[in-house]
Amino acid sequence: MTPVTDERRRKAKKATAVAAFGTFIEYYDFSVYGYVAATLSIVFFPSDNPTVGLLNTFLVFGSAFAVRPLGALFFGRLGDRAGRRVSLVASIGLMSLAAALTGLLPGYATIGVAAPILLVVLRMLQGFSTGGEIGGAASYIREWAPKERRSLYISFIPGVAVFGKACAAGMAALAASFVPEESMEAWGWRLPFLLAVPLGLLCLYLRLKIEDTPEFRDAEPADRSDRKPLKELTAGYRGPLAKVMAISTVQNVGTYVGTVFVASYLSTVLDFSESQAATIVLLAVLTAAVFIPLCGRLGSRLGGKRVLIVSYVAYIAVTIPSFWLMGRGSVGLAIVGLILGMVPYALCQAGTYAVMPEFFPVQVRNTGVAFGHSIGAVIGGGAGPYVSTWLIDSTGSTFVPAYILVFFGLFGLGVALGAVRRSASDDHLYA
């Protein structure tokens, strides 16, 4: 094993920064869609019933999750065979291209039914890319970071992912605030997507200049071109893979119901203006972006699994009060309520990303994390916003998202308690 020298620590910090910057861009590009969903429903799915248009928009949002497992297998295999760096370069290039093309896409009024079809294709390309990003970035940082600081370093991945969502919300808020409504539907919604071009080019340049991880280089077998990570995973690591899928499902429900969906929830269900909704979400997720590294530092002391347990208990305890505050009709109380909801969210993000790479050895780590996380994203993220919208419309209850988060908090608590009983530390969970 490569010794932890001062040079190694310096390279670990650089590797963490570059990997995290790419994750920031990936999640900015991926999340913009959700924050301008109300406008996209008009541009691409014109309908006399606003709920129908929004449901169609969230179906396209969910289509990105359907292909995430395919992207996870592709980029995971690439990362386990050719190297983490190669996988990270390829994923950021594809995401930036798909986001830029989305920003240039004509609407339904211009090209008819071809517009929503092309929107689906581009959204699926984004999902394909995102399927490989998390596994590659988490594995890359885990294999560079000193053992005693792994949880902290890895926490920058969900931290910057949240910051990417915050920037997406901020761009949506700026567009909604300064662009007239008719212009927003004509061209204003395009601006957040087109920002992907300069950001993507910068990140591509930086990722081309980083080194692959010492752990991957040390473990490279002579026949790595013949390696079959998925076959190895399903043959020897089914239990760890199932656990990663489970904790990823909870984490993704928290992400896409608790942050992305809530932007449309605030405007379409609680009757805040789009500008107010985007501002509320922006302030809350910026707060979460600060919380997550603090939770990662806590994870370095307590262990990622224990942080997960605390997060699930917090979901059970604070979610309903959080949504009660958001429903009072006050922007100030809505901000306080959503920030309260960011406490379990931040703990869950830090704990999930710290634990996932530890379930797998180096030869299948990229594929295991990417595939397991992507299945959880399909279940928790792809279905979450759609099911929440449908249940609110069907039941008339504005607390549906809160009940969903509490339910998955209970589910996650059972999974995490089982994992803790089997291992006192975060190392060698696959053993």
Cβ within 8 Å of residue 186, ≥6 positions away: none
Instruction: Tell me the pLDDT band of 246, cut-offs 50, 70 and 90.
Output: very high
- The Cα 130–Cα 256 span in angstroms is 14
pLDDT score of 326:
92
Contact yes or no for 152/300 (Cβ under 8 A): yes
CATH superfamily to which 6-207+230-422 belongs: MFS general substrate transporter like domains (1.20.1250.20)
User: Mean per-residue pLDDT for 284-291?
Assistant: 88
Judged against a pLDDT cut of 50, whether residue 87 lies above it is answered with yes
User: Mean per-residue pLDDT for 240-264?
Assistant: 87
pLDDT digits (tens, 9 = 90+) for 401-420: 899 999 999 999 998 887 65
Cβ within 8 Å of residue 222, ≥6 positions away: none
Three-state DSSP class for 423? coil
Tokens of 54: 């929004």
- The Cα 156–Cα 224 span in angstroms is 30
pLDDT score of 48:
65
Query: Would you list the domain boundaries of the chain?
Result: 6-207+230-422
Judged against a pLDDT cut of 60, whether residue 134 lies above it is answered with yes
pLDDT score of 339:
95
**DSSP for 76-90, written as a single string:** HHHHHHT-HHHHHHH
Instruction: Tell me the pLDDT band of 331, cut-offs 50, 70 and 90.
Output: very high
User: Mean per-residue pLDDT for 291-312?
Assistant: 89
Burial label for 359, CB within 10 Å (0-12, 13-18, 19+), is: buried
Judged against a pLDDT cut of 80, whether residue 242 lies above it is answered with yes
Higher pLDDT residue, 37 or 417? 417
User: Mean per-residue pLDDT for 386-396?
Assistant: 80
Q: How many residues does the chain have?
A: 431
Tokens of 332: 């100030």
pLDDT score of 424:
46
The type of residue at 187 is: W
Name which of 368, 377, 379, 375 is nearest 75 in CA terms.
368
User: Mean per-residue pLDDT for 190-211?
Assistant: 86
- The Cα 352–Cα 340 span in angstroms is 19
Name which of 46, 2, 28, 359 is nearest 202 in CA terms.
28
pLDDT score of 334:
94
User: Mean per-residue pLDDT for 276-291?
Assistant: 86
**DSSP for 347-362, written as a single string:** HHHHHHHHHGGGGS-T
User: Mean per-residue pLDDT for 118-143?
Assistant: 86
Largest CA distance in the chain: 65
pLDDT score of 264:
78
User: Mean per-residue pLDDT for 17-32?
Assistant: 84
To the question of pTM greater than 0.75 for the whole model, the response is yes
Name which of 145, 361, 136, 378 is nearest 251 in CA terms.
378
Instruction: Tell me the pLDDT band of 231, cut-offs 50, 70 and 90.
Output: confident
pLDDT score of 220:
61
Judged against a pLDDT cut of 70, whether residue 314 lies above it is answered with yes
pLDDT score of 403:
92
| Mean confidence (pLDDT) of the chain | 83
Instruction: Tell me the pLDDT band of 421, cut-offs 50, 70 and 90.
Output: low
Judged against a pLDDT cut of 50, whether residue 127 lies above it is answered with yes
pLDDT score of 51:
66
pLDDT score of 430:
43
pLDDT score of 392:
82
pLDDT score of 429:
53
pLDDT score of 431:
40
- The Cα 165–Cα 215 span in angstroms is 31
Angle between helices 114-144 and 68-81 (to 10 degrees): 40
128-132, 305-309, 378-382, 398-402: which has the minimum mean pLDDT?
Answer: 378-382
Three-state DSSP class for 6? helix
DSSP structure class, residue 382? I
